[in-house]
Amino acid sequence: MASSSKIDSNAEDEAPQEEVEHFDDFTLASSWERFISEIEAVCRQWMANGPKNLLEKGAVHLEFSKNLYKVKSELKYASKSYCMEYYFEKTNNDSRVSDWNFNLHELQMCFGVNDFLVIAPQSASGVVLDAPEASKLLSAVAIALTNCSSLLPALVPVHDPSRKAYIGIQNMGTVFTRRFEADHIGTQVPVQLMHLEGLYELFISKFAYSTLDFSVHLFKVNFTMKLTYRTIPYDDDHDLQGTDAEITEPGGNPVSDTHNKVQWDDDCPWSEWYSAEDPIKGFELIALWSEKMIESSLQMAELENDSPHDAEKWILFPKFSQNLSDGSKGNQIGFSSQLHLLIDALDMSFEAQFIEDFVSVENTGPDNLKTSMIIPPPTVIDRVLKELFHEGVRDPDFAKGGHKSSRAIKGAPLQSLFAQFCLNCLWFGSCNIRAIAVLWIEFVREVRWCWEESQPLPKMPANGSIDLSTCLINQKLQMLAICIERKLELNEDYEDCIGSMDQASPHTKEEDSVAEDSDSSIMRTPSEDFEGKRDSPLTPENLHHSGITMLRYSSEPEEVVLADPKPSDCIRRGSVRVVGSMMLLKSNQEMHVPFTQDAPLMTEDMHEERLQAVEAFGDSFNFSAQLERDILSSDMSAFKAANPDAVFEDFIRWHSPGDWENDDAQENGSTNKLATVNPNNFWPPRGQLSQRMSEHGNLWRNIWNDAPALPASEQKPLLDPNREGEKVLHYLETIRPHQLLEQMVSTAFRASADTLNQTSYGGLKQMTTKMEQLYLTMASVLKPVQANRLSAGSEIFEDLRRLCGILEHVEKLLTVAASLHRKFLQAPRLSEAIFSDYYNFYIPRMRTGSVEDNVQMEFDKKQQVRTHERRVISNMFTTPTANQSWRKVLSMGNLLNGHEPILREIIFSMRDRVSGNHYAAHTPMVYQQEIETYRMYICGTSNDLRVALSVVSCD
């Protein structure tokens, strides 16, 4: 039992603990023994809890490993504080360290252990600098582990922290003990240790007699090796990219400024607006040599000359830019960042009534309109206008690049004039409201110049119908383009040409067929498209009461059974063809389908005005006819010209068959005889007008009476290009700022997505799905904007900003997909596998919007390279040039296209059976298996070297 005086001498050290325990344990003779007891108590508690309970009590997961956790406890001894950490695996990992598990802790790799303890002082250095103290500390831990029957290895950091040196011990039972030692050489590595032969001899020296000549003795040593190569960083590879630029320059002559860097995304669709950072900074290639038996230094020398292509396994590890996973905003320039600015401009657009108010120096608005919002110089404005109006005047292909879901967004097509204006605004100055106002005013001036000079409006179709699924500004510009084209046609002398070709004298029935064919070619002038008609002519569905069968007319004449009509004394003009077997009521003549003018084009607001007018006056038939008066009058005039003997009832039978009621007797009698009996037998047709058409003062009849017999080619056009063109310009010049910005936001989002959608990224299904989801989300969020339901300070602005965040994530993923696709054109499997891994790594960031604690910080997925893919990977390691300053003097072997490994890792080991040799105990056969008696882990390059040794001994 310890004396009382000895206990009193340590009273100060033990006072705090004695106050807690409330008793003196006289079985502990010293503070060192008490320290051992504390270590033992902590270890027993950890072992009793087991991995499962330790996880529940808050064990810390190590990020680089999927299976490794740690707990720690603070201890105190002789006025010094220590921290003991217990590293354990959640599940038993039976894989051997020599299999090069990439998720191992550095100490697991160094010493070939799974679970282990580390005890270190709580100081600035974190290491034990005094050798006796380190030995005493290690002894205390070893005794404590022995007392609690633990086989855990214990390690203590020693020496200078930069050396990463350790000493350690492990009790392997009643017979054997394993000791650990690790150290590091940072500079002046001996030449013999730069090569495999010297490293092999270093390992042999640990168990062979020092007087032996290692080169002439055979030692069977297990050897495995891992070499890591790194490609030249893409951002620093100026020379190689400059060389590629000379080779790929079209025309055969390289550009004069060959030292300029060629951007990786020069052929990507977004490169017209911005240059994205290559998300892949490079690749690391890990070449693995499986374990083999080495018997001499000569074998090691030969192995150093082997090519990495001789390795059993290749593992590829991509190095991604930190900006991709960085949760902070503003670290990249792209469509999403500029759309943020456009939304800010939309929010501010409610502060003024007119666009000019944001430009005028006398503006009484906020001061920030005059100070922080900079307008680019006139040279920049001229360049933008030149790109919009003087380059690419040809009609664009609006279907190109558009996604199938993009029409759900009420914007303008990507190649259209307004869409290009919106994209230019994103990059015009800082995309502030003042800069946008200035550019819009100049844009409208250029549009008016095109109108006044009758110049075609670029990037807008001058034919067809108005696309009502687009925004109103795009509809107006399309209307203006058509008006300019119509105005040009009216200015040309088409009338003389048509009149000379359309002159005809009275002719007989025998000449009608020839005249009809000539009419077909004469009447189709460039200014009139008579392929279709606003009101549908007779169809089988429309004639189900009359019993008359008739085909819808087309541009090609149809073969019909003609009656034998009497010759007419009038001139027939503007006829397309005969209407089946229909006969005129007042003469024994076939009814002819006339050429008619197309209905006048209308934009969305014009349709709404007409609809509101109809709703205001109810369902009045006469009012609807009044709105359609010009169209009805044109159709009636054309019908009269094609059917000189026609009456009002004939026109109704052709134009509105629902308003003609056939007699039942004729309907029943003609049903079965029409195909076999001469139609003249059923002339004249019997029937009557409907009630609404037969009313006194019917507006349709009044229009018929006033309509002259004129073919469509001689009529006044239904669309007045001068009037409609001026109305469009008035709309563009007086549009309210918030109405302009609302349409700009919808169009800019759609155009940005359509631009990104043109990116070539191979068959990456996740990216295709993500693009489809983006369009659906955009269509949903932008609906209130398209419906003009915005107001200053609306909650919709927050939705728009969140939409920008979603677009930013898609942009980042798209750059990854595009970069991988072009780098692995010959190995698409690798491209898909790497992108899938990165997609799963990045998705949590898309959900949270920021990097949270439970989100993996670093991408660490690796892909095994198949044999047929090695050539593609090898070509990525281009031969380094002489002026690349980071290159060192080559001093290691196993070169890959001139690249030495950036890291070489080797494991030497010796195994022996403990039965019947000097390691065996004289106790019953407990150890009858083969154990690893010597193990050395070597890691480093030609400039540094780390060596870790573990030795089993019988103590």
Give tens-digit pLDDT for 176-224.
Answer: 899 999 999 887 888 888 889 999 989 998 888 665 665 666 788 999 9
pLDDT digits (tens, 9 = 90+) for 519-529: 333 333 333 33
Residue 233 and residue 282 in contact, taking contact as beta carbons nearer than 8 Å = yes
What's the pLDDT band for 544 if we cut at 50, 70, 90?
A: very low
pLDDT digits (tens, 9 = 90+) for 267-324: 899 999 999 999 999 999 999 999 999 988 889 989 998 999 999 999 999 999 888 8
Measured CA angle at 569 (ends 568, 574), to 5 deg: 70
For the cut 50, the answer to whether the pLDDT of residue 933 exceeds it is yes
For the cut 80, the answer to whether the pLDDT of residue 724 exceeds it is yes
Whole-number percent of the chain with pLDDT over 90: 41
pLDDT digits (tens, 9 = 90+) for 97-139: 667 888 889 999 999 999 999 999 998 888 988 888 899 999 9
Over residues 627-651, mean pLDDT: 87
How many Å apart are CA 275 and CA 105, to the nearest integer? 39
Whole-number percent of the chain with pLDDT over 70: 74
For the cut 70, the answer to whether the pLDDT of residue 339 exceeds it is yes
Q: What per-residue confidence (pLDDT) applies to 216?
A: 60
Q: What per-residue confidence (pLDDT) applies to 39?
A: 93
pLDDT digits (tens, 9 = 90+) for 14-29: 444 444 455 555 554 6
Q: What per-residue confidence (pLDDT) applies to 165?
A: 94
Report the residue count for the chain.
Answer: 955
pLDDT digits (tens, 9 = 90+) for 372-426: 678 899 999 999 999 999 875 555 666 665 678 888 999 999 999 999 999 999 9
Q: What per-residue confidence (pLDDT) applies to 212?
A: 63
Q: What per-residue confidence (pLDDT) applies to 535?
A: 36
How many Å apart are CA 411 and CA 741, to the nearest integer? 12
For the cut 50, the answer to whether the pLDDT of residue 230 exceeds it is yes
Q: What per-residue confidence (pLDDT) applies to 478?
A: 94
Q: What per-residue confidence (pLDDT) applies to 553?
A: 32
Q: What per-residue confidence (pLDDT) applies to 120?
A: 92
Contacts (Cβ under 8 Å, ≥6 apart) of 717? 486, 490, 527, 597
pLDDT digits (tens, 9 = 90+) for 887-916: 455 678 889 988 889 999 999 999 887 654
- Residue 143's closest CA among 241, 63, 43? 43
Q: What per-residue confidence (pLDDT) applies to 502?
A: 47
Q: What per-residue confidence (pLDDT) applies to 679?
A: 47
Element (H, E) at 313: strand 313-320
How many Å apart are CA 318 and CA 837, to the nearest integer? 11
- Residue 865's closest CA among 893, 904, 896, 840? 896
For the cut 70, the answer to whether the pLDDT of residue 639 exceeds it is yes
Q: What per-residue confidence (pLDDT) applies to 63?
A: 79
What's the pLDDT band for 141 if we cut at 50, 70, 90?
A: very high
Q: What per-residue confidence (pLDDT) applies to 251?
A: 37
Q: What per-residue confidence (pLDDT) applies to 514?
A: 35
Residue 212 burial (CB count, 10 A): 12
Better-scored residue on pLDDT, 163 or 447 = 447
Q: What per-residue confidence (pLDDT) applies to 5?
A: 39
Q: What per-residue confidence (pLDDT) applies to 630?
A: 83
How many Å apart are CA 118 and CA 71, to the nearest integer? 11
Better-scored residue on pLDDT, 596 or 364 = 596
pLDDT digits (tens, 9 = 90+) for 666-689: 444 444 433 333 444 566 777 888
Better-scored residue on pLDDT, 890 or 493 = 890
First to last CA, the chain: 30
Q: What per-residue confidence (pLDDT) applies to 41?
A: 93
User: Could you tell me where the DSSP H helices lie in 120-186?
Assistant: 131-147
Which of helix, strand or coil describes residue 411?
A: coil
Q: What per-residue confidence (pLDDT) applies to 660?
A: 87
What's the pLDDT band for 693 if we cut at 50, 70, 90?
A: confident
For the cut 50, the answer to whether the pLDDT of residue 616 exceeds it is yes
What's the pLDDT band for 1 if we cut at 50, 70, 90?
A: very low
Better-scored residue on pLDDT, 236 or 10 = 236
For the cut 50, the answer to whether the pLDDT of residue 508 exceeds it is no
Contacts (Cβ under 8 Å, ≥6 apart) of 584? 590, 591, 643, 645, 646, 647, 650
What's the pLDDT band for 589 if we cut at 50, 70, 90?
A: confident
The upper half-sphere exposure of residue 663, i.e. CA atoms within 13 Å in the direction of its Cβ, equals 10
Give me the chain's average pLDDT, please: 78
Q: What per-residue confidence (pLDDT) applies to 457?
A: 93
Better-scored residue on pLDDT, 69 or 253 = 69
b/e for 300-321, b at 16 or more Cβ within 10 A? beebbeeebeebeebbbbbbbb
Q: What per-residue confidence (pLDDT) applies to 111?
A: 93
Can you give 541-589 as a three-state secondary structure string?
Answer: CCCCCCCCCCCCCCCCCCCCCCCCCCCCCCCCCCEEEEEEEEECCCCCC
CA dihedral 113, 116, 122, 127 (to 10 degrees): -30
How many Å apart are CA 700 and CA 648, to the nearest integer? 9
Residue 141 and residue 39 in contact, taking contact as beta carbons nearer than 8 Å = yes
What's the pLDDT band for 328 if we cut at 50, 70, 90?
A: low
Better-scored residue on pLDDT, 552 or 916 = 916
Element (H, E) at 433: helix 433-452
For the cut 70, the answer to whether the pLDDT of residue 623 exceeds it is no
pTM (two decimals): 0.77
Which of 142-156, 603-617, 758-772 is least confident? 603-617
What's the pLDDT band for 625 if we cut at 50, 70, 90?
A: low
Better-scored residue on pLDDT, 660 or 696 = 660
Q: What per-residue confidence (pLDDT) applies to 673?
A: 38
Q: What per-residue confidence (pLDDT) applies to 512?
A: 41
| In the chain, domain spans | 31-92+100-186, 335-489+723-830, 602-662+686-718
Over residues 434-451, mean pLDDT: 95
Over residues 718-737, mean pLDDT: 93
For the cut 90, the answer to whether the pLDDT of residue 472 exceeds it is yes
What's the pLDDT band for 13 if we cut at 50, 70, 90?
A: very low
How many Å apart are CA 826 and CA 814, to the nearest integer? 20
